[in-house]
Structure 1
Amino acid sequence: MLQKRRSVQAPSAVVMVRPHHFHPNTETAGDNKFQKHPTDVSANEIAKRAFDEVTQAVAKLETYGVRVHLFDDEGTETPDSVFPNNWFSTHPGGHIAIYPMYAPSRRKERRADVIEELKRCYRVQEVVDYSGLEPDHIFLEGTGAMVLDHVERVAYAVKSNRLDPIALERFCTHFGYEPMVFEAQDESGADVYHTNVLMSIATDFVLISTDMIVNPARRAEIIERFEQSGRTVVNLSADQIASFAGNAIELSGTDGRLLALSQTGVDALSVEQKRIIGKSAKLLPLSVPTIEMAGGSVRCMIAGIHLTPRLNNESVKLPPS
């Protein structure tokens, strides 16, 4: 039976960005093995398909009661802008974090209008900006580099070029999370570039490929942590991870919790895995095959809003950024 109660893990509002000139980013292809570079489709057609995929995904989310703050990106220098969860995150108590990005092209994705819209619609007390760490080559790509357990207050993070332990420690100290860092590799031995392609933490279950965690002791510790939290561990294969089955986000809709992930990811799940998920969340497949060519999927496209909405008659006093 699906749950209708709200969960701190499952936001009911999100930010999404609709790109007008989408294409896989060659600058990030070096350590993102999920990327594909098509040669049989024109750049204009790829951009059009991506635009349409975001439009349709937004409409579907809104149909199920998720509030979507949609921003258009008409620029030509931000090919990965469709993935806003990497450059900012929001947190209960009115806190926003802005992150240092590994690829120079991705640093241009940060937008003041997004932050100002959040301040206008939600109670924001503080904006913590870590982007000044970039000149020192210290990076932390938001909820791509970290997967946050908002209930147990743990930040799970795969070692990669996109995550520096200094930045992670600063974030965890400031926002009250325990860092849980580990190494993860695919079957070819390549490092996983972002934690959120490997795992997704929902209220009652976790999607994760434990086999891709390199250190057996760390693997056992992570599994134990999830089981102690009362969650069911849904173990994914490397092939399922390659199909973006782990790149999912739990959301709160009108009729209960939803698990948003791509149609590609849903198709890769087994009947039993779908049954376990379905006990507490409705599977919500979104078709984004063009966007997945950039090496990310639905989770990467959605920045969850964990802020308190302002009342209709509440005056807006914007705190300084």
Structure 2
Amino acid sequence: MITRDTDAFLAFARGCAPDFGPATAKAAFLVAPDGFARAEQSAGDNRYMADAAAFDAARASAEHRELQRALSRSLPTICFPGDPEAPDALFPNNVFATVPGRLIVGRMRHPVRQREAARSDIRAWFADVLGYAQTDLSQQPHPCELTGALVIDRARGLGFCGLSERCDEAGARLMHEAFGLRATLLFDLAPGEYHTNVVLAVLAGRTALICADGMADAAVADAVAALYAPHAVLLTEAERAAFAGNAIALSGHEVWMSAVAANALEPAHRLALREAGFALRSADLAAIESAGGSLRCCVAELF
């Protein structure tokens, strides 16, 4: 099922058992922020990106190294070198994603990011080292920025795809098929939002962090909240702006977000995560966040 009908999606999704696959990844990979700078093309539809003067490449590189060390305590985490000609390359989850035994390569909207999809070293690592097959969406015309645009409940095989300049409806269908999902809910992001994973996180298939103001239709937030009740957390505008929605569960008992995001969480929302069985983990990414993404954007998952 792939639909815009929230009622139909909710009725179907409630019948999906958490037996689709592992709820969290077995490993992760990062791409170093080499050449970290403001990408003007990306800035055209990313309101979270700072002015060029706010970019600090040395600090971003140090934060990224600490992030890898921190995540490695939760699961194996490797890091590929960055490309100075690809200043957004530190956000690989938009370009590369996996299902068991297969790499999916996305189609990026902006030419400055399309070059990331052509990286032979990353493709060869999956093919020659891991033996993964490949689904390559990068050469077709429809933008589909993978787990930036598509938030996935891996346990139940459900997708939540926010449409924007970074993902159109045809691209969403291509991703739905590539991930082999049981059902995907299509919806429009609110004006000014570029990626779903900034306004929605599904954590280990049992909890959702929802930024209702990031969705054009409040019914979408209501449906997601109903599906994950009683462990649905409706984030405030301030929490969204601090990237609290850009979170990820890398195990069944830990949720990761940036230090800025964690500090912005209201006490009731911290409690809600604890009651759902999650310990909150964070990393200082203040310099990296000037590029308009946060912790979840930095993490490409291996299933």
> Which interval holds the TM-score relative to the shorter structure?
0.7 to 0.9
- Secondary structure, aligned partner of 2:192: coil
Matched, 1:23 2:30: no
1:250·1:259 contact (CA, 8 Å) conserved in 2? yes
Cα–Cα, structure 1 residues 164 and 232, in superposed 2: closer, same or farther, change >3 Å? same
Which of these residues, 265, 272, 275, is aligned with residue 269 of structure 1? 265
1:20·1:48 contact (CA, 8 Å) conserved in 2? no
Which of these residues, 183, 186, 189, is aligned with residue 188 of structure 2? 183
1:288·1:298 contact (CA, 8 Å) conserved in 2? yes
- The one-character-per-residue Cα deviations of 1:207-258 (angstroms, maximum 9, x if unpaired) are 111243322333333333333xxx6101101111110000011002xxx632
Q: Which residue of 2 aligns with 1:310?
A: none
TM (norm. structure 1) is 0.82
Q: Which residue of 2 aligns with 1:47?
A: 57
1:112: how far off? 2.1
Matched, 1:241 2:240: yes
Which of these residues, 81, 95, 104, is aligned with residue 102 of structure 2? 95
Q: Which residue of 2 aligns with 1:66?
A: 75
Output aligned runs, 1:251-290, within 5 Å. Answer: 251-252=250-251, 257-279=253-275, 280-290=277-287
CA distance in 1, matches of 2:237, 2:74: 32
Which of these residues, 166, 172, 183, is aligned with residue 170 of structure 2? 166
CA distance in 2, matches of 1:115, 1:283: 33
1:102: how far off? 0.4
Bigger mean CA offset, 29-38 vs 172-181 = 172-181
Q: Which residue of 1 aligns with 2:94?
A: 86
How many residue pairs get aligned? The number is: 279
2:94·2:147 contact (CA, 8 Å) conserved in 1? yes
2:34·2:87 contact (CA, 8 Å) conserved in 1? no
Identity within the alignment, % = 28
* Residue segments in structure 1 that go unaligned for 5+ positions in a row: 1-6, 307-321
TM (norm. structure 2) is 0.86
- Secondary structure, aligned partner of 1:108: helix
* Residue segments in structure 2 that go unaligned for 5+ positions in a row: 1-20
1:20: how far off? 2.1
Q: Which residue of 1 aligns with 2:225?
A: 223
One-letter code aligned to 1:91: V
Cα–Cα, structure 1 residues 212 and 105, in superposed 2: closer, same or farther, change >3 Å? closer
- The one-character-per-residue Cα deviations of 1:116-147 (angstroms, maximum 9, x if unpaired) are 223455352x20000111xx3x1001100110
Q: Which residue of 2 aligns with 1:212?
A: 214
Matched, 1:77 2:91: no
Output aligned runs, 1:147-158, within 5 Å. Answer: 147-158=151-162
- Secondary structure, aligned partner of 1:109: helix
RMSD between aligned residues: 1.8
